[in-house]
Structure 1
């Protein structure tokens, strides 16, 4: 029987041949479906390295091992690069300047204790601080503040550096004459921000929920304080919109600026305010059509207080226990709450007055007079014979005189006659001057348009 030579093993495994055939078919299909320009635009380079017989996998290798090997291999060549960069970074950290030290100020730390922590003699603190008049600012430490020390090879301080705020850093650098102090202040970028809120409980809580800083909420209340009594007029469902300045440094909001425009809808009525600085550099708020938001008197002299007693001709006095006219309005608020002057004027009295206790009386021109009673104390600089500006703090809520609890008793007189300050129609201030009206509209109209656009976008997104 003639023996036949053994069959040569196939050059490639069947699995490889099938895979290659499949890829070729896909490429042919792509050429038929897409024009040549599209194939060029979407081209992907495929490196198909078919193994030679000597590199074939053994027949008994488990398929699961192949899957595991594929999974553990780098997902892309970039993975190896990243590993190399990570290793290089770690190596660089190992070689970090050995004479550089950083410490965080903890409770009870002083500059002397921090010097000791980095290996510097505490006795050198006095010498360093005495080398420059401003160097003492390094002794005004804040909890959590970071101090960075750089030393010479011989262990002496070369420089001391610290960031005291988001906008300010201070440093001391060794010179031939001692240490030189330096301050670097970063000028923030000013941008505008828009917020919209709906009152559900209080203005403060709703402002916070909308992302409006508390200081901006207070400023908004001042802007609309001539028309809206925030002690009694606010209702759930009222809405507000504000465009205000944000000051940004290093991608972080570090402060807020002025309210540029705002709208407040109270009980279905909408009030609008726009900030405008005239050619003399004086800034005020006006309605969108140029009427002044500022009036001769603000509606309420205490922010966010509760009215505990109204103007009445036949109220029973809570202490005297007899019918006695209540010729003012009582605002209940926590002890120490600031009280503001309702308008510009001259202080006729800042002192004790019978049952009113600590009292301030202000004369506003020839027609109007206001009284503020039961104060805990007077604000600095407020004294009989002096003058005050509208909105200036003149004192603080207390319970002096005939008072059952901390509150402000507020009276309003017109030509010597007591009137209800909640019902009194307030006189208006001057509108935009005719020669500045065109300039005002150039500033106000874009702000109004932006608020309309922002609100429309907000409403559209909420309906999705």
Structure 2
């Protein structure tokens, strides 16, 4: 019996140990080549942000799997990186979006220079007789032939390629449509109702009222309205000077956040040669609307100061002027307003037409009787407005004719005369009678409406001036 202690048999065969060593080496190598899953997820996310080709995404996703958010709850980045990685996978597998196929039954054309309804029908493949059928089927269909450059017409065709409906937006607020029926075409008009809000404008005259108003954001029609409202006190043909300024609060029409038009002037203020005139719009309990001063006196007078807007005075009232054609001294019993041929002429006041026709050297002439005491004469007209004839009635501001050169005239202008009890007076110096002020029983109601409007102009102007000083 030997005294040597027997050796314990090895726990693992040598071949197993060698295999384990080899696996450990391979794992170490793998860790060097393939980093941890968390780092790989971030790297993949970064590469997705910088490199977008689809084939590169496929190569990287096959090299190492992206980490899911649910498997990385212990990591502070797991939810973010996992979500981004999932998004990347979704983007990778999502098929490319295909453009939507156009509806073959729908056609849309934009009116270009020289286009007619026939050329537009031809562009969408409709025969020439389709235009005739459309216009003959409904009296209002002819509105589609009144085309504007840039207007869009939309056609809907039936299964046989024939016109089923046609519609177009003719303004920001109006759309017209023709729809085919058993009896032809049915016409529809859709009027959108805008939101009405108030707006403010301020301007200082530098060269002309129209240029200053345009800089202030007022349209031409709004500028004309302002001149009409204040035209009883300010002669916009000769009184405007550089440095004059104006404030206006007016209605603004809005659709889908865009301004589509303007409404009434609610209040206006004009400082002319240092004197300020204010107008406030007011509708009384009977529904009659007019403009008044801030304290309730009527702005409307029996006569407006000038019958032509923005005209130039070419000759004034004079007892001894040399006539440019007759070449001799002859009293000039009126005022001449020079303006382009065709400029509208307005009646200075309400009245009845005594004459609308030819009168010697005056050429085409209108004479209006305003009650028993006053008469006005308008000479050298190119022609008369529709409905103007001897014996008819006219309203103040109504268009009665247009500037021309008929009679003894050297150029297009209006010769305007003003008579009081048969005596010629200078219309530029004549004090005209006033209309009635606000009724006593409506004064409180008027002030409740007018005072906030005047305060609005004061506040807006102060804010604007303060902003300009910064």
TM-score bracket relative to the smaller structure: 0.7 to 0.9
**Aligned CA distance change for structure 1 residues 365 and 108 (closer, same or farther; 3 Å):** same
Residue 72 and residue 294 in structure 1: after superposition, are their counterparts in 2 closer, same or farther (change >3 A)? same
Q: Give the direction of change, closer, same or farther, for the CA distance of 1:389–1:79 in structure 2 (3 Å limit).
A: farther
SS at 1:418 equivalent: strand
Distance 1:375 1:69, change over 3 A: same
Aligned to 1:261: 267
Give the secondary structure class of the aligned counterpart of 2:389.
Answer: coil
What residue is the counterpart of 1:246 in the other structure?
252
Q: Which residue of 2 aligns with 1:411?
A: 417
| Cα distance in structure 2, aligned partners of 1:254 and 1:89 | 43
Identify the residue that residue 447 of structure 2 maps to in structure 1.
Answer: 441
In structure 1, C-alpha distance between the alignment counterparts of 2:419 and 2:268, rounded to whole Å: 32
**2:403 aligned with 1:394, yes or no?**
no
Give 1:120 shift. Answer: 3.7
Shift of 1:380: 1.9
1:146-295 correspondence to structure 2 within 5 Å: 146-174=152-180, 179-295=185-301
Greater mean deviation of Cα atoms: 121-130 or 186-195: 121-130
- Which range moves more in the overlay, 192-201 or 180-189? 180-189
The equivalent position to 1:332 in structure 2, one of 329, 334, 338, is 338
How many residues align structurally?
409
For residues 106 and 78 of structure 1, what CA distance do their matches in structure 2 show?
A: 49
Deviations 1:411-460 (A, max 9, x none): 11212222111111111100011111111111111111111111011000
- 1:35-46 matches, within 5 Å, as none
Residue 363 (1) aligns with residue 369 (2): yes
The separation in 2 between residues aligned to 1:402 and 1:210, in whole angstroms, is 42
SS at match of 1:445: helix
> 1:94 and 2:100 equivalent?
yes
Cα 1:439–1:133 change in 2 (3 A) is same
1:380 aligns with 386
Choose which of 329, 339, 354 in structure 2 pairs with 1:323: 329
The TM-score normalised by the length of structure 1 is 0.78
Deviations 1:36-71 (A, max 9, x none): xxxxxxxxxxxxxxxx754569xxxxxxxxxx9698
**Which deviations, in whole Å up to 9, do the C-alpha atoms of 1:51-109 show, x marking residues without a partner?**
x754569xxxxxxxxxx9698368x9899989x99x99983633343432222233444
Q: Deviations over 1:100-148 (max 9, x none)?
A: 2222233444444433433344444444555555445444443322222
Greater CA radius of gyration, 1 or 2? 2
TM superposition shift of 1:352? 2.1
Unpaired runs of 5+ residues, structure 1, are 1-51, 58-67
Instruction: Name the SS of the counterpart of 2:342 in structure 1.
Output: coil
In the other structure, the counterpart of 1:305 is 311
CA 177–327 in structure 1, closer or farther in 2 if over 3 Å, else same: closer
- CA RMSD, Structure 1 to Structure 2 (Å): 3.5
Q: State the match for 1:458 in structure 2.
A: 464
Measure, in 1, the Cα distance between the counterparts of 2:422 and 2:430: 14
Tell me the SS of whatever aligns to 2:298. coil
Gaps of 5+ in 2: 1-30, 37-45, 53-80
CA change 1:270–1:163 in 2 (3 A) is same
Distance 1:428 1:333 in 2: 29
Partner of 1:35: none
Whether the 8 Å contact between 1:276 and 1:284 is mirrored in structure 2 is yes
In the TM superposition, residue 253 of structure 1 has moved relative to its aligned partner by 2.1
Change (3 A) 1:150 1:345: closer
Q: Distance in 1 between matches of 2:380 and 2:441?
A: 46
Flag the 1:392–1:170 CA change in 2: closer, same or farther, 3 A: closer
Alignment of 1:27-106 (within 5 A): 53-55=32-34, 72=50, 91=97, 93-106=99-112
Hey, what's the Cα distance between the residues in 2 that align with 1:377 and 1:134? 31
Task: Specify the alignment match of 1:423 in structure 2.
Answer: 429
SS of equivalent to 1:169: strand
d(CA) in 2 for partners of 1:372, 1:174: 53
Please say if residues 112 and 123 of structure 1, whose CA atoms lie closer than 8 Å, have aligned partners that are also in contact: no
State the secondary structure of the residue aligned to 2:405: coil
User: Are residues 78 and 360 of structure 1, via their aligned partners in 2, closer, same or farther at CA, if it must alter by over 3 Å?
Assistant: farther
User: The residue matched to 1:200 in structure 2 has which SS?
Assistant: coil
